Chain A
């Protein structure tokens, strides 16, 4: 099996698996309990929280454990907007955000918020000029992702942040799911940020929302005192505890993994440029972890099935919206044609992938196009 779908999810690191197994056996207490077993869980979980905080250069109270990046995004967007209605009713996001951000924004419309979806340019990013043109006095929240999950395009979040903060009542949330531990993130400049464990070789059902102290939120899951009253439900102590290790290992390997994946990306770009009918949609400036490509001869669905048969796992558009229509909304938003949008597939890599796998991928693609592709 060749797994080129690391932007959907990743394998779980051996070290993480081992510690998680230990935690499941020994650390079953409810961190809110007052007895010894509960205190043990609470102590380890708070240790994890403070380790994570120091790795992100924020304070422990600014780390909220959640069950998924979708929950973090919803809490950030809906939680912030509902808590700050008195400041204004205008919120901004891009038109290629993850479905959880898009749907949280749509949800806000029910409460009388005015939501604007910023267009991206041909490079797949929101330009500072575009954001500036849409900012208003009553804009209270901007949520624009760091790295796009289908293209790998990197938004200029530092420049965007400057514009957002020109308005003193506006805050900036960034979905960092695809960028964390791949490129540096200026957490000190951001008001809220979402990170997911399972995209960095951690566990599913585990994520965080980084939220600065001054930011007021209302909880989305009602239930009690957990996570500063911002998230009801018994805390998932074992998962929250191993998240610190997951993040530490990912950050330690950030630069070596980046160099490794860059080589694979570079090789594929070169080889693809030699194939007739092949296109590369990810801009050159995108992160090397994500490569969006298409072949004119074959639609994404058929190519996906054929690669699957050959033991190669890839995605066509983002997995979280893969049940819907066939065209990639991100490619359409980048002003690509309907044709490209129904032919694009996304390769996404991790430190586990090899150049040999990339070679096999290229050969297999040639073979598939030969057998099943339309002639050009």
Chain B
């Protein structure tokens, strides 16, 4: 009989280096993996100090692999066959797991953590290879094999693996605290979301909606982007801020050239309020130096001035093409380029100021009671949970 993969073996990423925090990291990863695979009810999970195992039972190994490849904190994983720590069983499992019809080169790499196992690693290598060599046209190549057969013998079980899938790397989401990411609907902010999560930061998104200047389609596009990145942490909470009144007040009270800077300052104030409410420690944006007028260093200085919170800009030094490449990789690009207006593009001034001054900003802001409007925005924000799998009705 041909063996089917019944296990997945997960190797931890960078986190295995982190002395004292190690247990927290492993626990976070374990929880994230379970959450990501919630849709597969018969999976069983086991965590050990250096590995994590998933017992597949009857679930589809391909679908499970696709989801696992998105979970941060995993350096790599392999589909594995688990057998008794018995040499004959190991040899049979290795032999049966291969498709021997087309000739290839191979190498067997055995390891035994159970030093009482009666055969040393090299003997296991030779015995497994002998069976394959005798019964097929496969040849050994220890330097550049087409297929590397890994055998791990532990006290209670042996694992046979023939492939190794690259994991997403990074830290398990959540171990790095929580941040609020400003999600506009463009190309950059979903990439910022991804990079934050990659370093283990749990994110919530903030979207500023200015109906009727922005359409319902624009908001749905943002929700779709949130959905696309939500897979990296299980699900994501999106805060939709009703921004119209505040935006109109800016245009009534300030010179057009300062409007964008003031708008960004208001956004930061609202984000700070929401971050405090949600116990987040930072704000993140998709800004990149020099990309538009409001993203010069002078602008960032003027914008940062309104909050004590760290403002993290994960793509700040990336070129546009680099950001685009990454957005294509994480699958958000096609949605980002849909042509709906967001609140940044709707009132584009002809000559936005590139070197705004804080004192001037404050002068304009002194003209009306924006504190109350900011508070209204925070109070009237609508919270929407977004899950990676679209929930469709009975219709389809």
Which residues does A use to contact B, with CB under 8 Å?
301-309, 323, 368, 372
Q: From B211, B212, B248, B339, name the one whose CB has the most chain A CB atoms within 10 angstroms.
A: B212
Question: How far does the alpha carbon of A80 sit from the alpha carbon of B212 in the complex, in Å?
Answer: 46
Q: Is B335 an interface residue (CB 8 A)?
A: no
Q: How far is the CB of B348 from chain A (nearest CB, A)?
A: 13
Chain B interface size range:
under 10
Question: How far does the alpha carbon of A303 sit from the alpha carbon of B213 in the complex, in Å?
Answer: 8
Q: How far is the CB of A367 from chain B (nearest CB, A)?
A: 11
Q: Are A372 and B213 in contact (CB under 8 A)?
A: yes
Q: Which 6 residue pairs across A and B have the least CB separation, nearest first?
A: A306-B212, A305-B212, A305-B215, A302-B212, A302-B213, A305-B211
Question: How far does the alpha carbon of A57 sit from the alpha carbon of B212 in the complex, in Å?
Answer: 48
Considering only CB atoms, which chain B residue lies closest to A306 in the complex? B212
**B-side contacts of A308, CB under 8 Å:** 212, 215-216
Q: Are A372 and B212 in contact (CB under 8 A)?
A: yes
Q: Is B65 an interface residue (CB 8 A)?
A: no
Question: How far does the alpha carbon of A303 sit from the alpha carbon of B215 in the complex, in Å?
Answer: 10
**Number of A-B pairs whose CB atoms are under 8 Å?**
26
Q: Is B341 an interface residue (CB 8 A)?
A: yes
Q: Are B341 and A301 in contact (CB under 8 A)?
A: yes
**Interface SS, B side:** loop
**B-side contacts of A304, CB under 8 Å:** 212, 215
In the complex, per-residue mask of B5-48: 1 if CB is within 8 Å of any chain A CB, else 0: 00000000000000000000000000000000000000000000
Question: How far does the alpha carbon of A309 sit from the alpha carbon of B215 in the complex, in Å?
Answer: 9
In the complex, per-residue mask of B196-229: 1 if CB is within 8 Å of any chain A CB, else 0: 0000000000000001111110000000000000
Q: Are B339 and A305 in contact (CB under 8 A)?
A: no
Q: Are A306 and B339 in contact (CB under 8 A)?
A: no
Q: How far is the CB of A63 from chain B (nearest CB, A)?
A: 33
Question: How far does the alpha carbon of A323 sit from the alpha carbon of B337 in the complex, in Å?
Answer: 13
Question: How far does the alpha carbon of A307 sit from the alpha carbon of B339 in the complex, in Å?
Answer: 20
* Cβ contact of B216, chosen from A302, A305, A368, A372, cutoff 8 A: A305
Q: How far is the CB of B219 from chain A (nearest CB, A)?
A: 10
**A-side contacts of B211, CB under 8 Å:** 305-306, 309
**B-side contacts of A305, CB under 8 Å:** 211-216
**B-side contacts of A372, CB under 8 Å:** 212-213, 248
Question: How far does the alpha carbon of A102 sit from the alpha carbon of B324 in the complex, in Å?
Answer: 34
Question: How far does the alpha carbon of A301 sit from the alpha carbon of B214 in the complex, in Å?
Answer: 9
Give 8 new A-B contacts, CB below 8 A, not counting A305-B211, A305-B214, A306-B211: A301-B341, A303-B212, A305-B213, A305-B215, A307-B212, A308-B215, A372-B212, A372-B248
23 A–B contacts, CB within 8 A, in A order: A301-B215, A301-B341, A302-B212, A302-B213, A303-B212, A304-B212, A304-B215, A305-B212, A305-B213, A305-B214, A305-B215, A305-B216, A306-B212, A307-B212, A308-B212, A308-B215, A308-B216, A309-B211, A323-B339, A368-B212, A372-B212, A372-B213, A372-B248
**A-side contacts of B341, CB under 8 Å:** 301
Considering only CB atoms, which chain A residue lies closest to B340 in the complex? A301
Considering only CB atoms, which chain B residue lies closest to A310 in the complex? B212
Q: How far is the CB of A326 from chain B (nearest CB, A)?
A: 10
**B-side contacts of A309, CB under 8 Å:** 211-212
Question: How far does the alpha carbon of A302 sit from the alpha carbon of B211 in the complex, in Å?
Answer: 8
CB proximity to A under 8 Å, residues B332-383? 339, 341
Question: How far does the alpha carbon of A301 sit from the alpha carbon of B217 in the complex, in Å?
Answer: 12
Q: How far is the CB of B368 from chain A (nearest CB, A)?
A: 17
Q: How far is the CB of B349 from chain A (nearest CB, A)?
A: 15
**A-side contacts of B214, CB under 8 Å:** 305
**B-side contacts of A302, CB under 8 Å:** 212-213
Question: How far does the alpha carbon of A331 sit from the alpha carbon of B212 in the complex, in Å?
Answer: 23
Q: How far is the CB of A297 from chain B (nearest CB, A)?
A: 13
Question: How far does the alpha carbon of A305 sit from the alpha carbon of B214 in the complex, in Å?
Answer: 7
**A-side contacts of B216, CB under 8 Å:** 305, 308
Question: How far does the alpha carbon of A305 sit from the alpha carbon of B215 in the complex, in Å?
Answer: 5
Question: How far does the alpha carbon of A368 sit from the alpha carbon of B212 in the complex, in Å?
Answer: 9
Considering only CB atoms, which chain B residue lies closest to A325 in the complex? B339
Question: How far does the alpha carbon of A297 sit from the alpha carbon of B379 in the complex, in Å?
Answer: 31
Considering only CB atoms, which chain A residue lies closest to B245 in the complex? A371
Question: How far does the alpha carbon of A304 sit from the alpha carbon of B214 in the complex, in Å?
Answer: 10
